[in-house]
Amino acid sequence: MSVGGTWGKFLHVDLSSGRQWLETPPDEVYLKLVGGRALVAYLLLRDLPTGCDPLGPDNLLIFAPGILQGSNLPGSGRHGVGARSPLTGAIASAEVGGWWGHEFKRTGFDALIVHGQSAEPVYLWIHDGQAELRPAGQLWGRDTADVQEAIQEELDDRRIRVAQCGAAGENLVLYASIMHDVNRAAGRGGLGAVMGSKRLRAVAVRGTMNPPIATRKRVGAVSKWLGENYETLTAWAVKIGTVQGVRNWGRVGALPTLNFREPMFEGRESITGQLMHETLLPHRDTCQVCPINCKQVAEYDGEKEFPDSPYLRSDFFHKIKVDKAYGGPEYETLAGFGSVCGIDDLLAIAKANEGCSRWGMDTISLSMTIAFVMECVEKGLLTAADTGGFLPRWGDAHAMLEAVEMVAHARGYGAQMGQGSKRLAQQIGRGAEAFTVEVKGQELPMHEPRLKQALGIGYATAPVGADHMMNMHDTAYTRPNAELERVAEVQTFEPMAVNDLGPQKMELFYHEVNWRHALDCAVICHFYPYRYSHVAEALSGVTGHEYSVRDFLAVGERAQTLSRLFNLREGFSAEDDRLPKRVMQAFQEGPLAGVEITPEAFLAARTYWYGLMGWTADGVPTPERIAQLGLSTLLP
């Protein structure tokens, strides 16, 4: 094989027939796409029938590490997963940390493509170049931690890593996640439902082979730089992690509250990451070859006495327990089950997070759907007759936790809620669509577009629907700092205001979003302080082929372009690149009072970015740009 960091093998498994086969991709697939999202989009375009049922046998479930997995480069303990989304109908592409991706790469394969649909529950066992399907009827319906333990016991190896769909995936919740190592989620787009529809309960992996590295010294130099700088450049992650966002965004009126309807959450100090660290966190966890340890781990035994605090007002103490096996809430989860639902009970939020890991659900889409239902109840659009008596209201932690269980098991009105807020609004009618906060059917994450306005363009244009990771956060570019120094490797920018949507901001957005997508192909953690040149150097060292900074950014542009072509083929258009009206309209009070995103500014920014991407004013990639990116030979 002439591309270092790869085995030259994609493993295909057809669950309908039990057949397995290997694909030997040409070098250009590796070198141009690298892995992750670009590879997912390429395979969907090549092999997926147009208009296929996302929950039918024709959909593909693709596990796609990048070339850097298995290299031990810090930050490379991630991998991508993809399919056609049952939630949106667009491409579903999610990245997840932990240890599974590294372990899979060491089995001797560069990707796993699952076809078909098994007649009975099965799990897939992959180890050192071998793969076998094993019965999983005994695992069906069990909690994720139980399933992982049962597989490790059956195969007599505690180092086996497990990816699984959970009960929510079995019950075809349209935003079910694929859980890895029990507490790491490939969270968005309903990939767990795709896995459940195939009756594939789990994929267990164990490898002992190290992929070839062309020039280890070059990779080691990047690793050495990271080791010398991460404590300074990622101090926020080392100290507390994403959960600092509750306090930070709460102060400036950008903590989403009551379904993005209100500017401030009065109970925000009751759900901060700082309070969680003082009360519920015994320790933090990390991913393969990562020194940062940013993963939250929550635990409560039902008896522990908390320190005196005016913010701990739970009526759940001594009633529930929180199992540390299921990790702990990150920022999105604290805000989603907290301020978005009007809930100021930290313990209840931690328990909701546990339920999502235990049963396999996206905390963002689930919490936003619960908030949508709360608003519909408030407005009188849902009654007891509609919901079987389930009437959750703002601030009701008991109802929120009941909803988590109901949705995971498709019990009562949970079966309807498991379809997501867009479909639910269509069923309710009577103007309920006005209360949905989604793009392409995927609910918004917990970052406020009225504050971060280029991020709003990113929500609108992300191929998967609203997403905060394949995006740019405007607040990082308001002063001279490492982020602007990183971008200066291709273009120099002065600091910009958060509400700037002019051409310069969109050019910055163009580079940074290509960077984020490229990281999701490599696959590298977004929290790492690497510059463009660091990852280009690491990729050159691993593969033995030279990547310039612009070569690496082109990988991200290819990922976006291929994803766009897939979505266009499935009926999406520029009309779907929109923002919910609610998050474009100004608040009447609070720190963001009077700040809006006008339709004119939004359309001008979107059109300018289309042009930078080499797309027409209607958002269609031109043949010329497709050729410039070297994609012509890879398209069907």
Phi, psi of 254 (to 5 degrees): -120, 20
| Domain limits, the chain | 10-206, 245-251+255-443, 453-634
pLDDT for position 312: 64
At 47-93, the pLDDT tens digits run: 999 999 999 999 999 999 999 999 999 999 999 999 999 999 999 99
What average pLDDT is seen over the chain? 96
| Arch. (CATH architecture) of 10-206 | 4-Layer Sandwich (3.60)
Q: Encode pLDDT of 100-140 as tens digits.
A: 999 999 999 999 999 999 999 999 999 999 999 999 999 99
The confidence score (pLDDT) of residue 319 equals: 72
* Interior angle at CA 24, CA 22 and CA 25, nearest 5: 130
CATH of 245-251+255-443 among 1.10.569.10, 3.10.110.10, 3.30.499.10, 1.10.10.60:
1.10.569.10
Residue 602 to residue 600: CA distance in whole angstroms: 5
Task: Report the 10 Å Cβ neighbour count for 618.
Answer: 11
Q: What fold does the segment set 453-634 form as a domain?
A: 1.10.599
C-alpha 464 chain-centroid distance? 10
- CA 260, 583, 272, 364 torsion: positive or negative? positive
| The residue type at 579 | L
Residues making up the chain, counted from first to last: 636
Shared fold status for 10-206 and 245-251+255-443: no
Cα–Cα dist 274/272, whole Å: 5
Report pLDDT digits (tens) over 191-244. 999 999 999 999 999 999 999 999 999 999 999 999 999 999 999 999 999 999
pLDDT-wise least confident of 267-276, 304-313, 403-412, 450-459: 304-313
Residues 324-366: pLDDT tens digits?
999 999 999 999 999 999 999 999 999 999 999 999 999 999 9
Looking at residue 440, its pLDDT comes to 98
Check if the beta carbon of residue 23 is closer than 8 Å to that of residue 60: no
| Rounded Cα–Cα distance for residues 64 and 93 (Å) | 10
On the question of pLDDT at 445 being above 80, the answer is yes
Distance between CA 153 and CA 180 in Å, rounded? 17
Confidence of residue 591 (pLDDT cuts 50, 70, 90): very high
| 316 band by pLDDT with thresholds 50, 70 and 90 | low
pLDDT class of 283 with cuts at 50, 70, 90: confident
State the Cα angle at 28 between 24 and 31, rounded to 5°.
Answer: 105
User: Shortest CA distance to 566 belongs to which of 62, 114, 83?
Assistant: 83
Q: What is the predicted pLDDT for the residue at 545?
A: 98
Helices 453-461 and 503-522 cross at an angle (nearest 10°) of 50
| pLDDT exceeds cutoff 60 at 566 | yes
Distance CA 277, CA 295 (A): 12
3-state secondary structure 347-394: HHHHHHHHHHHHHCECHHHHHHHHHHHHHHHHCCCCCHHHHCCCCCCC
Contact 500, 453 (CB under 8 A): yes
Strand-pair category, 111-115 with 10-14:
parallel
Structural contact between residues 502 and 524, judged by C-beta atoms closer than 8 angstroms: no
